[in-house]
A and B are shown apart, each in its own frame.
Chain A
Amino acid sequence: MRLLALCAIPLATALVVFAAPAFRGRRVPVALLFVVACAHLALVTSLWVVPPLPTLGGWLAADPLGLTVLTLTSVLFVVTAIYIVGYLRHEAPRSGRVFAGGLLAFLAAASVVALAHHLAMLWVGMEATTLSVAPLVFLRRDRRSLEATWKYLVVSSVGIALALLGTFFLASAQGQGGGDMGRPLLLPDLIAHARELHPAWLRAAFLFLLVGFGTKMGLAPMHTWKPDTYGEAPSLVSGLMSGALTSCAFLGVARVTEVVAAAGLGSFAQPVLIAFGLLSLAVAATFVIGQRDVKRLLAYSSVEHMGLLVLGLGLGGVGAYGSMLHLVNNGLAKGWMFLVAGNIALATGAATAGNRGLIRTLPASATLLVLGLFAVTGSPPFGMFVSEFTILRAAFDGGHPWIAATILMALAVIFVGMAALVLGMVLGEPPAPTGRDPGAVAVRESRWLVAGPVALAAIVLMLGFYIPGPLRDVLTRAAMALGGTGP
């Protein structure tokens, strides 16, 4: 019942916001958004306290993997809803209906993806996330955002189409297995009968689902939409996309990996995952250097972290646990960084290298930006350090020292590239005030705009020192489902 409500409440609210003419303004849709976000988080919290039973004939269930992604999405959504209150005082999207409705539809679709245990339903949810986010990318309605939206839609929809074909292949693997294979495309039945699945079709299904959902994750070389989309979308939308949407897409990859691992085909899947991971790291390291826009920089950082996620899966063992922990860290840190980039863009027009001396003009955001730089590049004491270290340990344990060396090299290059841009913006002399009242800039850092990033930063910092027992337990069980081990 609760599982159904998690998907149905945001969907119903989105439909009401879209359809009812009473919601022309911005105040009511945004208030609704806030209420629904809090209710969603409350329901998700109750799932941690009292584990739910599967509903809809097993189509909806909250296993450790799905629960992790669902919780991450819900937390990011609440933080974004708080941020929106401050955001709307400075920048008004043309249509409050499209804005709030799109965000709510995204929450519904992401909840479906996280809870779906039927792979066709998972696919439907994934398609819905793509469609619900597209109008949000186009919110500014200018030439550049149109180009970004078009690229995003074309590349993602080809990815979605390939994922559908992969789902068909999986059905074929089940159909060709012979004997009683359980209910079609239902995850528990697929895993229970994994060894009887037809291996050739299963391999094909894995490849197509990896490429399809990998496109939505933004793994290189299917990442081309990412810098443009994150760069042009409003920062809070980019934050949700790189924090929650990519996590949902990773869940798609993780689901098929679960089946492949249960079928004993890990030795086939692992090199493919490692190859995509290393390529993503290399591409990110290449393009991070010389970036002049924080949001595009963060997009390449996202490519890097998606690469690390599949690398962890591919390395197996403790790497799977590292991936799960990294999923949480990356989601929170990306939300944090994009919201801070949004603050800078609100105050100065654009979060680009043209800014100087932000530490004086926007002290809170500049401090959060520098801390975030250390967090997303995996420096201690933040959570990403622990998860990246776990993935590195998996590389050494698995006897792949050259993979570990490649990861370290890419991380070093990315750190230098990111630090060059961020420190250049934060330090230095602020430009002479050109008619702009310096007092007005200070006002723009309202509490609404800073509270969310501070909360996310606090969680990421905490995860660097201490992982709460229930979370550790859930992540360990998720890692074991992926064919790995606990910490």
Chain B
Amino acid sequence: MRDAAQIVLLLVVLSDLAILGTSRLSSCIRGLAAQGFLLGLLPVLIAPQLSVHAVSLALGTVIVKAVALPWFLSWAIREAAVRREIEPIVGFIASQLLGALAVALAFAIASRLPLPALQQPLLVPVSLATLIIGFIVLTTRRKALVQVVGYLILENGIYLFGLTQTESVPFLLELGVLLDIFVGVFIMGIVVFHINREFDSLDATRLTELSD
């Protein structure tokens, strides 16, 4: 089980980098769904023994992060008629390089942090890397919808960190799911309030009427 968890964590990093490198909205959302599925596997793989809590957590994670939110995002794309390109502020190659830097930085930080005799030494560095990459997507992409994807990746990083605490603090991880309410609100905001209609496109950089 330990090796399987290692492989899953490495795949999470790969999905981070893939999302950074893709130029199409649909593949970006597919990458996110894949990442959500991988995250759903982890509670079961990490738990010392199979418990009801771990299994229900895994199921809940897969339903929310791998099925519901990606579906919701695709629905928003259709509903709000968003153009399918990502339109980055920082180019794809450059952002992948940034992502690689983030991974290196995450491992460097994690090696300095005092960690318990963790069942999973990769968990903390992968969590930090995902967090930073989410932040990169959030800040270097123009479209409101892709920024939502960035926020989701950032959240996934927090979820991964929460996995280190599931033993000592029950239900801490479930708090992370509350963050998904925000994402729901964002997507509803895009669709219902027609951010694309009001601003001509889902380009959040055009939200610049208010400034000093």
A interface list, Cβ under 8 A from B = 120, 123-124, 127, 130-131, 134, 138, 141, 143-144, 146-151, 153-154, 157-158, 160-161, 164-165, 167-168, 171-172, 174-176, 184-185, 198, 200-201, 204, 227-228, 231-232, 287, 291, 296
Identify whether the interface residues of B are mostly helix, strand, loop, or mixed: helix
The complex places the Cα of A147 from the Cα of B210 at a distance, in Å, of 8
Q: Given known contacts A157-B186, A158-B154, what 7 new A-B pairs fall within 8 Å (CB)?
A: A120-B169, A131-B185, A138-B193, A167-B175, A168-B165, A171-B168, A175-B168
> B176 — nearest CB in chain A belongs to which residue?
A164
**Are A171 and B210 in contact, with the CB atoms below 8 A?**
no
Contacts of A164 in B (CB 8 A): 158, 175-176, 179
Is B37 interfacial (CB 8 A cutoff)? no
Collect the chain B residues with CB atoms within 8 Å of residue A127's CB.
Answer: 178-179, 181-182
User: Provided the pairs A146-B195, A171-B172, A176-B116 are in contact, do residues A151 and B151 lie with their beta carbons within 8 angstroms?
Assistant: no
Residues of chain B within 8 A of A123, CB atoms compared: 175
A175 to B126, CA, bound (A): 20
| Structural contact, A148 and B165, CB atoms closer than 8 A | no
B138 and A158 within 8 A (CB): yes
Q: Is B7 an interface residue (CB 8 A)?
A: no
Please name the 8 residue pairs, one residue from A and one from B, whose CB atoms are nearest each other, closest first. A228-B210, A184-B169, A175-B168, A157-B182, A147-B207, A171-B169, A171-B165, A165-B158
Beta-carbon contact of A160 and B210 below 8 Å: no
Q: Is the CB of B189 within 8 A of A153?
A: yes
A297 to chain B, nearest CB (A): 11
Please give the number of chain B residues whose Cβ is less than 8 angstroms from any Cβ of chain A in the complex.
37
Q: Is the beta-carbon distance between B172 and A150 smaller than 8 angstroms? A: no
- CB of B185 within 8 A of CB of A147, answer no
B 184-210 contacts with A by CB, 8 A: 185-186, 189, 193, 195, 198-199, 204, 207, 209-210
A90 to B172, CA, bound (A): 46
Query: CB-CB < 8 A to B176: which residues of A?
Result: 164
Judged by a CB distance under 8 angstroms, whether B155 is at the interface is: yes
Of the A-B pairs whose beta carbons lie under 8 Å apart in the complex, a sample of 8, sorted by A's number, is A127-B181, A150-B144, A153-B186, A154-B186, A157-B179, A168-B162, A172-B164, A198-B114
Chain B interface residues toward A at CB < 8 A: 113-114, 116, 131, 138, 144, 147, 151, 154-155, 158, 161-162, 164-165, 168-169, 171-172, 175-176, 178-179, 181-182, 185-186, 189, 193, 195, 198-199, 204, 207, 209-210, 212
Q: How far is the CA of A131 from the CA of B178 in the complex (A)?
A: 11
Shortest Cβ distance from A148 into B: residue: B210
- Given the complex, which residues of A lie within 8 Å of B185, measured CB to CB? 131, 134, 153
Q: Is the CB of A185 within 8 A of B189?
A: no
Q: Is the CB of B151 within 8 A of A158?
A: yes
From A131, A134, A168, A176, name the one whose CB has the most chain B CB atoms within 10 angstroms: A168
> Are A161 and B204 interface neighbours, CB within 8 A?
no
A147 surroundings in chain B (CB, below 8 A): 199, 207, 209-210
Given the complex of chains A and B, what is the CA–CA distance between A146 and B151 in angstroms? 19
Q: Using CB atoms, name the residue of chain B closest to A156.
A: B182
Task: For residue A134, give the distance in angstroms from its CB to the closest CB of chain B.
Answer: 7
Alpha-carbon separation in the docked complex, A160 to B155 (Å): 10
Contacts of A176 in B (CB 8 A): 114, 116
CA distance A201 to B207 in the complex (A): 38
Name the B residues within 8 Å of A130 (CB-CB).
Answer: 182
With beta carbons under 8 angstroms apart, the residue of B138, B162, B210 that contacts A231 is B210
Chain A neighbourhood of B207, CB < 8 A:
147, 150-151
- A161 & B158 in contact (Cβ 8 Å cutoff): yes
Q: Which residues of A contact B199 (CB under 8 A)?
A: 143, 147
The answer for the CA separation of A339 and B171 in the assembled complex, in Å, is 41
Shortest B65–chain A CB gap in Å is: 15
Complex contacts, B164 vs chain A, CB 8 Å: 168, 172
Chain B residues, CB < 8 A from A151: 207, 210
Q: How far is the CB of B101 from chain A (nearest CB, A)?
A: 20
A131 touches B181 (CB 8 A): yes
- Could you tell me the distance between the alpha carbons of A67 and B207 in the complex, rounded to whole angstroms? 39
Taking a contact as CB atoms under 8 Å apart, the answer to whether A160 and B179 are in contact is: yes
- Which partner residue on chain B sits nearest A169 by CB separation? B161
Q: Report the Cα distance A227→B78, complex, angstroms.
A: 34
Given A165-B158, A176-B114, also A232-B165 (CB < 8 A): no
- Tell me if A120 and B172 are in contact (CB < 8 A): yes
Q: Which of A120, A146, A204 is close to B175, meaning CB atoms less than 8 Å apart? A: A120
State A274–B1 Cα separation when bound (angstroms): 48
Contact residues in B for A168 (Cβ distance below 8 Å): 158, 161-162, 164-165, 172
Contacting residues, chain B, for A231 (C-beta < 8 A)? 210
Contacts of B172 in A (CB 8 A): 120, 167-168, 171, 185
Nearest residue, chain A, Cβ from B114: A200
Question: Least Cβ distance of B79 to chain A in Å?
Answer: 17
Interface centre among B161, B182, B189, B193 (most CB of A within 10 A): B182
Give the complex CA separation of A150 and B165 in angstroms.
Answer: 32
Point out the residues of chain B lying under 8 angstroms from A144, CB to CB: 209-210
A314 → B minimal CB distance (Å): 25
A150 and B168 form a contact (CB under 8 A): no
Per the bound structure, the CA–CA distance linking A131 and B171 in Å amounts to 21
Q: Contact check, A160 vs B168: say whether CB atoms are below 8 A apart.
A: no
Q: Known: A144-B209, A146-B198. Is A161-B161 also a contact (CB below 8 A)? A: no
In the bound complex, CA of A171 to CA of B178 (Å): 18
**Complex contact A150–B114 (CB within 8 A):** no
